[in-house]
Amino acid sequence: MAQPHVPTSLDQITAEVMTDALRSSGFDEVTVASVSAERIAIGEGFLGELARLTLDYSAGSGPATAIAKIPTTDSGLKPIGDLLDVYGREHRAYANLLPQMKVRTPQAYLNVGDDESLAYCLVLEDVGGYASGDHHAGATLEQARAAVVAAAGVHGRWWNQVDQFDWVPPIDSPLNMGLQGMFESSWSMVVDQYGEQLGAEVIARLESYLPTVSDMFASFGASSRTLTHNDFRLDNMFFDGDDL
């Protein structure tokens, strides 16, 4: 089978690309006439580029908008994402993991990648009509409960059943085990910037943890294993009322 074309810039997500993607996603009769892209979340995700695509149709009916996500084109930042396998892991998550989960996630209209060239492209359902969480404002009790229930469902579903996901780095991976030095070297900057808000008691407690970071990762790795989101915060959640 031929390797699918992987758009590496937003202007490569053409009407033809979106027609094929939507027809493969259940919109059998559509023909996309034009695609326009508007960059969004500029400055928020430094390893990727996001755009809202507006779709016009010459035949059939499909979503009016979609969200495109490609790796950053910044030559200084792209290697960091490649090193961390950020793009490859997201590609594999949408292909192999999320379809097995009960947590509501955006539908992927297009999910293509090339592990050799490290090119990846996602085009997702636009969930902008839902309320975005805000970790500064906080959540209602029901929203917090819904988030915890969703997390527990993921943890329970994959408890000690993660062998099939060898592309997901374990908590005691060499990369994580090397984070202690980074934490220690950047600690003074954290104190300078956030010390007043955190307070002396919290600062002292955090400082006591710094020498033990690698030991904690090793201890966690020796225990039961499951999948975790690892960026579990309100800014990465959308709500329909109090439902996640």
Position 1 confidence tier, pLDDT thresholds 50, 70, 90: very low
Helices of type H across 78-178: 78-83, 86-92, 141-157, 174-177
Please tell me the pTM assigned to this model: 0.85
Position 43 confidence tier, pLDDT thresholds 50, 70, 90: low
- The answer to whether the Cα torsion of 129, 235, 38, 96 is positive or negative is negative
87 backbone dihedrals φ, ψ, rounded to 5°: -75, -40
DSSP state of 121: E
How much is the pLDDT for 136? 87
Helices of type H across 34-167: 78-83, 86-92, 141-157
How much is the pLDDT for 47? 86
Position 102 confidence tier, pLDDT thresholds 50, 70, 90: confident
Q: Is residue 186 part of a domain?
A: yes
Average pLDDT over residues 7-33: 96
Q: Is residue 244 part of a domain?
A: no
How many C-alpha atoms does 140 have within 13 Å on its Cβ side? 12
| Domains identified in the chain, total number | 2
How much is the pLDDT for 194? 93
User: If DSSP codes are grouped into helix, strand and coil, which group holds residue 37?
Assistant: strand
Q: Is residue 5 part of a domain?
A: no
Choose the final residue of a domain: 129, 162, 182: 129
Q: List the domain range (segments joined by +) for residue 53.
A: 10-129
Helices of type H across 3-137: 15-23, 78-83, 86-92
Is the same domain home to 141 and 230?
yes
Q: What percent of the chain has pLDDT over 70?
A: 97
* Mean pLDDT of all residues belonging to the chain: 92
Is the same domain home to 87 and 157?
no
Is the same domain home to 157 and 102?
no
Q: How many residues are listed for the chain in this entry? A: 244
How much is the pLDDT for 175? 85
Q: Which residues contact 52 (CB under 8 A, 6 or more apart)?
A: 37, 38, 40, 65, 66, 67, 68, 126, 128
More confident residue, 166 or 56: 56
H-run or E-run covering 110: strand 108-114
Q: Is residue 4 part of a domain?
A: no
The burial of 116, by beta-carbon neighbours within 10 Å (0-12 exposed, 13-18 middle, 19 or more buried), is given as exposed
Choose the final residue of a domain: 129, 151, 169: 129
pLDDT tens figures, 190-204: 999 999 999 999 999
How much is the pLDDT for 148? 95
203 backbone dihedrals φ, ψ, rounded to 5°: -60, -45
How much is the pLDDT for 44? 63
Instruction: Give the whole-angstrom CA distance, residue 112 versus residue 6.
Output: 6
